[in-house]
Amino acid sequence: MLIRIPEVLSKADVAAMRGLIDSGPWLDGNVTSGAQAAQAKRNAQLDETSPQCRKAGDAVLDALQRHPLFISAALPLKVYPPLFNRYEGGQNFGNHVDNAIRPVRGSDFRIRTDLSATLFLAEPDSYDGGELVIDDTYGSHSVKLPAGDMILYPSTSVHRVTPVTRGARVSSFFWMQSMVRDDGQRTLLFELDSSIQSLAATGADQASVVRLTGIYHNLVRRWADA
């Protein structure tokens, strides 16, 4: 399930975040790569130990906690501290699958990567290329969103970033461990929750909405890890 999460950050928030991270210490993007990814990855990454990365990452996490669509779609149990990358001058990231387990260096924090996220921090007309291409059973999906919007997709997906031939593609990327690890179950819950919200907004019979809400929560109880 691919889900676009619009306006995670406002345009003003994006501008403030870019002002913070653009002047930060940038490193070779392979500092966080596994062996497979390192062969395909060509980009720069904001030093994850820097105060700029930590402050910007906290701002992303705060915004996600306030976004009901993200909560409904991800049902997050743990969120990896957001990281930041930049592609320019032909840089790209070839086909790869994200590692199943992501530890935070220097700590005992680790997550199972059920979902991956890319939060775009550059307007799409400010750079050429840089599409996030995600493969699933229905084909390839090319994603290039306005600054402040985010795409959420299964971490099991093969995906890539096409070469950036003009300008710079800047984004935040991170992973989530969901309370519901199975993507099919999580999709059903999201669709049910979305339907309940739509019915409630149209003034549908309250008793029916309550029954459907009960079904939703009973399925979460059955399927959730936490």
78 φ, ψ (degrees, to nearest 5): -140, 145
CA atoms within 13 A on the CB side of 14: 19
pTM: 0.93
Length of the chain: 226
Query: Per-residue pLDDT for 212 more than 70?
Result: yes
Cα dist. 196→69, 166, 214 in Å? 13, 44, 11
Instruction: Report the range of poorest mean pLDDT among 24-38, 80-94, 122-136.
Output: 24-38
pLDDT in tens, 66-125: 999 999 999 999 999 999 999 999 999 999 999 999 999 888 999 999 999 999 999 999
pLDDT at res. 178: 98
Whole-angstrom Cα distance, residue 107 to residue 102?
Answer: 11
Determine the topology of domain 183-223 in CATH: DNA Excision Repair, Uvrb; Chain A (4.10.860)
pLDDT of residue 203: 84
**Tens digit of pLDDT for each residue in 179-196?**
999 999 999 999 999 999
pLDDT for 131 equals 98
Residue ranges for the known binding site are: 96, 98, 159, 169
Measured CA to CA, the distance from residue 46 to residue 26 in angstroms comes to 4
- 226 or 221: whose pLDDT is higher? 221
Edge-to-edge order in the sheet of strand 93-96:
93-96, 158-161, 132-136, 139-143
Q: CATH classification of 3-178 is 2.60.120.620, yes or no? A: yes
Which token pair is 146?
């306005």
- Give the whole-angstrom CA distance, residue 14 versus residue 16: 5
190/75 Cα distance (integer angstroms): 9
In the annotated binding site for Fe cation, the residues are 96, 98, 159
* Three-state DSSP state, 88: strand
> What residue segments make up the domains of the chain, in order of their start?
3-178, 183-223
Q: Are 82 and 177 in contact (CB under 8 A)?
A: no
Return binding residues for 2-oxoglutarate.
Answer: 169
Mean pLDDT score, 204-226: 94
For the stretch 166-175, what's the b/e string if a residue is b when 16 or more beta carbons lie within 10 angstroms of its beta carbon? ebbbbbbbbb
Q: Please, which pLDDT band fits residue 160 given cuts at 50, 70 and 90? A: very high
pLDDT of 137 = 86
Q: Look up tokens 């653009």; give the residue.
A: 22
